[in-house]
Amino acid sequence: MSASRTGTGRGGDGPLIFLMAGEPSGDAIGARLMAALRRETNGRVRFAGIGGERMAAEGLESQFPMAELSIMGVAEVIPSIPRVLRRVRETVARIRLLSPAAVVSIDATGFCFRVERALKGDGIPLIHYVAPMVWAWRARRARHVAEFLDHMMTLLPFEPPYFERHGLPTSFVGHPILEEGAAGGDGARFRARHGIASDVPLLAVLPGSRHGETKRLLPVFGVTLGLLRDRFSGLRAVVATVANVAEEVRAAAAAWPVETLVVGAAEKYDAFAAADAALAASGTVSLELAIARTPMVIAYRVHPLTEIFGRRILRRFRYACLINLLEDREIVPERLLEKCRPDLLAGEIDRLLRDPAARQAQIEGAAAALARLGLAGPPPSTRAARTVLQVIAARTGGVGSPAAAIPA
């Protein structure tokens, strides 16, 4: 085994870990993991790999721009296949040259799994962070990845058994949303900044971060606000959006029947804390709202052809919202597919704004779900870093590895 892999070479400056991320969410997770690895090893760790701006800020010099892997849609994917396959070959060659202590891939399975499958048998521990959603669809994929991965790190507590039954060691490390939004927001500061009195009813409206989501939900949410305007005097709305859909969100919000403030990511958590309730697209935003203790209603619409697939998933799982999935009961009202109607959405929001008991019941239920995700324990990035170091220590026998003395 090479000195660089055990961490005893190159001036004894710690193990070299090769990281791969292919999209902004993975870049954020990777950056937090890098910071945690540095903390856990007292700085005795080195990095190489592929990442974006946030991983670069932690010291990673990306092998090539991460944007080359952030491809969505058939029309965009097909022309990119030759380039992506070339990047796979280049990455495999670079990893073999560097002989790192471990490879850690983060999401972006289309690229990362091709690299790791090629590396199987080279003696380098292969770890994947953010498990494929085999519990929702393509369950056979768990057996497939168990053939070449050495360890899986999951975000959700019910995911490990899906991989362990195929012999793949798996660790639940917690959802990164818990870390990103742990500090919460300042609702009073947000209202003061934007001139919204404390007694003015404020609804957070969150139509998603993808064009397909916003296209289908913005009109529905606008009509819903019209119904609520007639029930709540002075009602205002706030939309926290992201850059890639900000233009269409602002255009839609300008025509809504209530005064609507559109803010960016920098004010997101303050906006959540300031809101009395939220109307949100299904997704991880439900966890962010739960951290802010903001009761919510979850809505979603999809393309009619996609709806057929969606119904199959909902038949297998009673809920789409992560909070409901974790507690196996409807804590958060879900109005999906044909039930995503303004009258039903307005009725649920009306109840949350008027009924303190309903608000409190949801807040307490959501808190229990967050506890299952490990909100009270070590941050997810710390758990992930310790897991990575323990995998390295197990492979090297703890010799020359900072992981030997690190508790789980």
Percent of the chain exceeding pLDDT 90 equals 70
Residues 6+ apart with CB under 8 A from 84: 68, 69, 71, 110, 111
pLDDT at 309: 55
Residue 307 has pLDDT above 70, yes or no: no
For each of the domains in the chain, give its residue range(s) and CATH number, in order of start: 3-180+377-405 (3.40.50.2000), 187-372 (3.40.50.2000)
For residues 171 and 309, the model is more confident at 171
Spatial contact of 374 and 380, defined as CB atoms under 8 Å apart: yes
Residue 404 has pLDDT above 50, yes or no: no
Residue 90 has pLDDT above 50, yes or no: yes
Alpha helices per DSSP H over 202-334: 211-229, 246-254, 268-274, 285-291, 304-316, 322-327
pLDDT at 320: 86
Average confidence (pLDDT) over 394-404: 57
Burial of 357 (0-12, 13-18, 19+ CB in 10 A): exposed
pLDDT at 25: 85
In angstroms, the CA 372 to CA 219 distance is 35
- The pLDDT confidence band at residue 316, using thresholds 50, 70 and 90, is low
In angstroms, the CA 91 to CA 111 distance is 10
- The pLDDT confidence band at residue 288, using thresholds 50, 70 and 90, is very high
Under DSSP, is residue 16 helix (H, G, I), strand (E, B) or coil? strand
CA distances from 294 to 25, 208, 213, 273, 377 (A): 23, 17, 22, 7, 22
pLDDT per residue as tens digits for the range 117-171: 999 999 999 999 999 888 766 678 899 999 999 999 999 999 999 999 999 999 9
- The pLDDT confidence band at residue 306, using thresholds 50, 70 and 90, is low
E strand spans, 130-235:
151-154, 170-172, 202-206
pLDDT at 313: 54
pLDDT per residue as tens digits for the range 166-221: 999 999 999 998 887 767 799 999 999 999 999 999 999 999 988 888 999 999 99
Average confidence (pLDDT) over 47-64: 95
Residue 1 has pLDDT above 80, yes or no: no
For residues 11 and 302, the model is more confident at 302
Q: Tell me the two tokens of residue 273.
A: 């804390």
* Residue found under tokens 């949350």: 352
In angstroms, the CA 155 to CA 373 distance is 8
Average confidence (pLDDT) over 307-318: 58
Q: Which amino acid is at 261?
A: L
The lowest-confidence range among 180-184, 281-285, 398-402 is 398-402
Model pTM score: 0.81
- The pLDDT confidence band at residue 399, using thresholds 50, 70 and 90, is very low
pLDDT at 305: 53
CA distances from 64 to 1, 57, 69, 85, 357 (A): 28, 15, 10, 13, 53
Average confidence (pLDDT) over 261-288: 95
Cα dihedral 270, 276, 282, 288 sign: positive
Average pLDDT of every residue of the chain: 88
- The pLDDT confidence band at residue 337, using thresholds 50, 70 and 90, is confident
Average confidence (pLDDT) over 66-84: 62
In angstroms, the CA 276 to CA 285 distance is 16
